[in-house]
Amino acid sequence: MSSTDISLHKDVHLGHDDHHDDHDHDQSFIEKYIFSQDHKVIAKQFLFAGIFWAVIGGLLSSLFRMQLGFPEATFTFLEPILGKWVDGGKLNPEFYLALVTMHGTIMVFFVLTAGLSGTFSNFLIPLQIGARDMASGFMNMLSFWFFFLASVIMFYSLFLETGPAAGGWTVYPPLSALPQAISGSGAGMTMWLVSMALFIVSQLLGGVNYITTVINMRTRGLSMTKLPLTIWAFFLTAVLGLLAFPVLFSAALLLIFDRSFGTSFFLSDIYVAGEALTHTGGSPVLFQHLFWFLGHPEVYIVILPTFGIVSEIIATNSRKPIFGYRAMIGSMLGIALLSFVVWAHHMFVSGMNPFLGSVFMFLTLIIAVPSAVKVFNWIATLWRGNINFTTAMLFSVAFVSLFISGGVTGIILGNSALDIQLHDTYFVVAHFHLVMGSAAFFGMYAGVYHWFPKMFGRMMEEKLGYLHFWITFACVYLIFMPMHYIGIAGFPRRYYTWTGFETFNKFMDMNTFITIAAIVAFAAQFLFLFNFIYSIFRGRRATENPWKSNTLEWTTPVNPGHGNWPGPLPVVYRWPYDYSKPGAPEDFIPQNVPFSQTQSSNLPHERDTE
Amino acid sequence: MITIAVALSILLLLVTLYLLFKIQVLASIFKGSYRRDIGTSNKVNAGLFLAFLVVMGALFVWSFASSKEEMTLPLASEHGIAIDSMFWLTMAIIGFVFVLTHILLFVYSYKYQHKEGKRAYYYPHNNKIEIIWTVIPAVVMALLVFSGWKTWAKITSPAPDNAVVVEVMGKQFNWLIRYPGADNKLGHVKHTLIDATNEFGIDLNDKNAQDDFPAEPSAFHVPKGVPVLLKIRARDVIHSVFLPHFRVKMDAVPGMPTSFWFIPTKTTSEMQSETGNANFQYELACTEVCGRGHFAMKMTMIVDEPEEYQKWVAAQQQKTFSTQLQAAPADSTAAVALNSTSGAAGAGATASKQ
């Protein structure tokens, strides 16, 4: 925990030492880099914390993949690191479950929610809407520090003697409520719940800010229909978070009551560890409803920001307007709305009324339509473009590929009849790791590579980025494609080993292969980490608008100071996608260029505004 | 295999170090100014996308084809036929979409790579195309929903009256099976009655419980060709009954009994000859994480011809819970339960209803 702290302000400090804006002179070091209220600094804080968590989350997955890939091997070399969790070279099965649980929790919440939205919503909203900062800089600062506190607690829980939470990232009670049932449900689960409660506070503080800022602080001329798709995406993400996270909070609170104060919200008729408990009348399925009421919007909270990021990057680097701008907004709105009414497709075989299964199958499959529209629009944007493959663009194209590959299997899993066989198998694991895990990671990488020059005033090394991209892209498919086969064969999730079953005693080589691919993929991320840190200090210096992009953030100085624009705020005249407009001398026209200056390229309906 | 992993990691490390050196050189050349050419790298990346499509596409087809047999589990239930055919039909539809969109994505990426002096085509929208590719997926989805809903409704419909009832109870970390006996009614159970000998918490005051009998600890029997209704519960945490060969899955939830019915279509011995594996057994696995032994909750289900099944039942139903529990009262709780049974069956029946 202390190491995060040190690396945070150190990196941020050094990333900034080459600029001293007028606004900053009267600020102390602590105000400027630690308890900063500048959205750009807070964004970087989220980014560094997210990267820290991603390394931990990836490390955990490498550990449990080793167990799955080499079930017969003895890992004595891990004993010095993991202590009693490795006994005679064998991973403790409860520790295995803890690894899976923490990998999920960390990746979904700490990396792909806080790390992704925290970084890009914070960084881009004020810059792209032409605002000096967030609506409330102070709340924004609190948002990070609540997240930091949540992180410290979650990180600390990894080192508890009874281990961190181990009942799966979905923490279904009664398992998560009963320390007798699994040791991770002791102190580890308490810390998980406390950490998540703080995390939710952080998300709400951030979300309120994002929404308020987008609604109220757009610069002159920037109507909602001229917003870059990134902002639309961040805006809708924040709305989803604001509506969904309180429900998780209530579920966590009720679980805390059941665990510590003897209530029976989720517990009923339980006999465990030689003792009949007094709880009656509770329903474990109620928790699942509450959890997935957040849980499903949560996967869109993870993926929506990357929709925006990728749309922006694909348009910029194809040198073409995004195809169907309004359809893109409409489909995001549709997805955001529908995401609230599909949650029970995670529960087809939970024992809930089968009639609900029919309703949720119907609603779930509808959501495929706006998702399909988005994919077609991205592909149409590439069509007859003039594509410049920056690293960000590579990740964006790959994002579309991963989103398709993971998305189509959602049509199978959303069908309740088919879900009977596939529920909780590796087919599900493969599906969501492609569609929301890898795809969201790719979107995040795309965003980092694309906006790095604006964040740090320097460029990332492109060749190293290409290498990072191609290894990662290939490995992601090598990992998750074969997982579908294993899932079709019925291999259940969260199994320490499958060798006990005759039915699942196959695909050994496949699992070994997946593990090797996973470790190579993890190792390749250090190329990124190296490139990232190296480029902060030594990267080539960036120009103001290195990608020849239209949005407002590129009209700021190379290293924007506190307040973003040294002079008056820019005024917006046009939508953000005037790329390769016929008649224009350049192949891009920034949003702040009035129509009166572009008479050669104005379309008939734009002539009135000259 | 570990050596391969280590070797790969070392290789990767070396590559990293080499690049580190190269970057150092590049950085010293370019430092201070930024100038970007769209040059060879762009062509290489565009080409790699095409290569990726071809190589990974071929790998996918090859690996899928060669694993197809291993990944398809033999099927032994009636509703499974509908599930399997719908699964492969849906796979074909999404496979088509998957291939088509990937060809477009990667071929366009290659074809429309940057060329000096070329200009992209300003094409912001086309409502007609948008409507077409909104409507087509919507129609396909509607068809899939409809067929899925029909199958789902059939599978989850109430079990026929003649169904053979079997109770499956999950606990950490094994499955316990109970049959209702001659009256075809499962006796009343209560979690406070559970102890080391009365693992179900059977209330012996209930007359329906008198003829209930268990299966052997490692295997239970069901007849072929007859609806089998699994009554599913759990006594500690959530478990999930998964019979992969029967396309059956249902959570076992403490405090909330669930059920699933199906018709087995092949006996164990038929499946043994079909798969050519003399040791083949239908296995029941747990698919909801339930703790340390989650991966080891195995139970064998033996599907018999109806006559054999009746023979097994005739033999097994001698070993009712009530005789077993009366023979070996392990502790006071069981003893109390037993005493009250012998006291007054009528009073007991009233008590169990409370």
How close B324 comes to chain A (CA, Å)? 20
Among candidates A240, A351, A249, A361, which has minimal Cα distance to A298?
A240
| Both tokens assigned to A204 | 């709400």
Cis peptide upstream of residue A174 (ω within 30 degrees of 0): yes
B246 CB neighbours in chain A (<8 A) are none
Is pLDDT above 70 for B339? Answer: no
Amino acid B47: pLDDT: 95
Say if B237 falls within a structural domain. Answer: yes
Is pLDDT above 90 for A75? Answer: no
How many domains does chain A divide into? 1
> pLDDT tens, A111-152?
999 999 999 999 999 999 999 999 999 999 999 999 999 999
pLDDT, average across residues B7-11: 83
Provide the domain limits for residue B223: 164-353
Say if B138 falls within a structural domain. Answer: no
Is pLDDT above 80 for B178? Answer: yes
Say if A558 falls within a structural domain. Answer: no
Amino acid A22: pLDDT: 45
How close B174 comes to chain A (CA, Å)? 13
Say if B105 falls within a structural domain. Answer: no
> pLDDT tens, A569-605?
999 999 999 999 998 898 899 999 999 998 888 888 8
Say if A102 falls within a structural domain. Answer: yes
- With an 8 Å Cβ cutoff, are A540 and B236 in contact? no
Binned at pLDDT 50, 70 and 90, residue A26 comes out as low
A281 CB neighbours in chain B (<8 A) are 255
Report the percent of chain A where pLDDT is more than 70: 96
> pLDDT tens, B110-127?
999 999 888 999 999 899
CA distance A490 to A507: 11
State the pairing for strand pair B299-304/B282-286. antiparallel
- With an 8 Å Cβ cutoff, are B255 and A268 in contact? yes
Say if B324 falls within a structural domain. Answer: yes
How close A207 comes to chain B (CA, Å)? 31
pLDDT, average across residues A57-63: 95
CA distance B203 to B191: 10
Interface mutation target, options B292, B298, B301, B336, chain A, most CBs of A under 10 Å: B292
- With an 8 Å Cβ cutoff, are B31 and A540 in contact? yes
Interface mutation target, options B26, B34, B62, B301, chain A, most CBs of A under 10 Å: B34
- With an 8 Å Cβ cutoff, are A415 and B98 in contact? no
Beta bridge partners of B179: B213
> pLDDT tens, A170-210?
999 999 999 999 999 999 999 999 999 999 999 999 999 99
Is pLDDT above 50 for B336? Answer: no
Cβ count near A253 (within 10 Å): 13
Binned at pLDDT 50, 70 and 90, residue B31 comes out as low
Cβ(A380)–Cβ(B104) below 8 Å: no
Contacts of B299 (CB under 8 A, 6+ apart): B174, B175, B177, B218, B219, B220, B283, B284
pLDDT, average across residues A101-112: 96
- With an 8 Å Cβ cutoff, are B255 and A283 in contact? yes
Structure-model confidence comparison of residues A110 and B184, the more confident one: A110
Neighbour order of strands in the sheet with B219-223: B219-223, B299-304, B282-286, B239-243, B248-252
Task: Give the CATH number, domain containing residue B318.
Answer: 2.60.40.420
Give, as one character, the DSSP assignment of residue A33. Answer: I
How many domains does chain B divide into? 1
> pLDDT tens, B235-293?
999 999 999 999 999 999 999 999 999 999 999 999 999 999 999 999 999 999 999 99
How close A14 comes to chain B (CA, Å)? 17
> pLDDT tens, A377-416?
999 999 999 999 999 999 999 999 999 999 999 999 999 9
Cβ(B173)–Cβ(B293) below 8 Å: yes
Say if B254 falls within a structural domain. Answer: yes
Is pLDDT above 90 for B221? Answer: yes
Is pLDDT above 80 for B1? Answer: no
A349: nearest CA partner in chain B: B250
A534 CB neighbours in chain B (<8 A) are 23
Q: What are the angstrom distances between the C-alpha of A166 and each of A179, A499, A523?
A: 10, 22, 26
Is pLDDT above 60 for A4? Answer: no
Binned at pLDDT 50, 70 and 90, residue B34 comes out as very low
Is pLDDT above 50 for B346? Answer: no
Amino acid B333: pLDDT: 47
Among candidates A585, A454, A569, A471, which has minimal Cα distance to A519?
A471
B42 touches chain A (CB under 8 A): yes
Task: State chain A's mean pLDDT as an integer.
Answer: 91
B190: nearest CA partner in chain A: A269
Task: Give the CATH number, domain containing residue A31.
Answer: 1.20.210.10
Say if B258 falls within a structural domain. Answer: yes
Amino acid A21: pLDDT: 44
Say if A449 falls within a structural domain. Answer: no
Cβ(B195)–Cβ(B235) below 8 Å: no
Q: What are the angstrom distances between the C-alpha of A503 and each of A62, A492, B88, B282, B294?
A: 26, 11, 21, 8, 16
Structure-model confidence comparison of residues B155 and B34, the more confident one: B155
Report the percent of chain A where pLDDT is more than 90: 84
Say if B128 falls within a structural domain. Answer: no
- With an 8 Å Cβ cutoff, are A580 and B121 in contact? yes
Amino acid B218: pLDDT: 87
- With an 8 Å Cβ cutoff, are A495 and B295 in contact? yes
Among candidates A488, A478, A499, which has minimal Cα distance to A426?
A488
Interface mutation target, options A369, A403, A428, A491, chain B, most CBs of B under 10 Å: A369
Say if A260 falls within a structural domain. Answer: no
- SS3 call for B302: strand
Binned at pLDDT 50, 70 and 90, residue A467 comes out as very high
Contacts of A375 (CB under 8 A, 6+ apart): A400, A403, A404, A407, B101
Provide the domain limits for residue A104: 1-222
CA distance B288 to A295: 17
> For chain B, what is the radius of gyration of the CA atoms?
31
Say if B101 falls within a structural domain. Answer: no
Taking each helix axis from N to C end, the angle separating A462-488 and A508-538, rounded to the nearest 10 degrees, works out to: 160
CA distance A158 to A98: 9
Q: What are the angstrom distances between the C-alpha of A506 and each of A498, A499, A552, B53, B245?
A: 9, 8, 55, 29, 15
Q: Taking a contact as any Cβ pair under 8 Å apart, which residues of chain B between 206 and 265 contact chain A?
A: 232, 235-238, 240, 242, 244-245, 247-251, 253-256, 258
Contacts of A352 (CB under 8 A, 6+ apart): A285, A344
Is pLDDT above 50 for A18? Answer: no
Say if A522 falls within a structural domain. Answer: no
Amino acid A459: pLDDT: 92
Is pLDDT above 80 for B296? Answer: yes
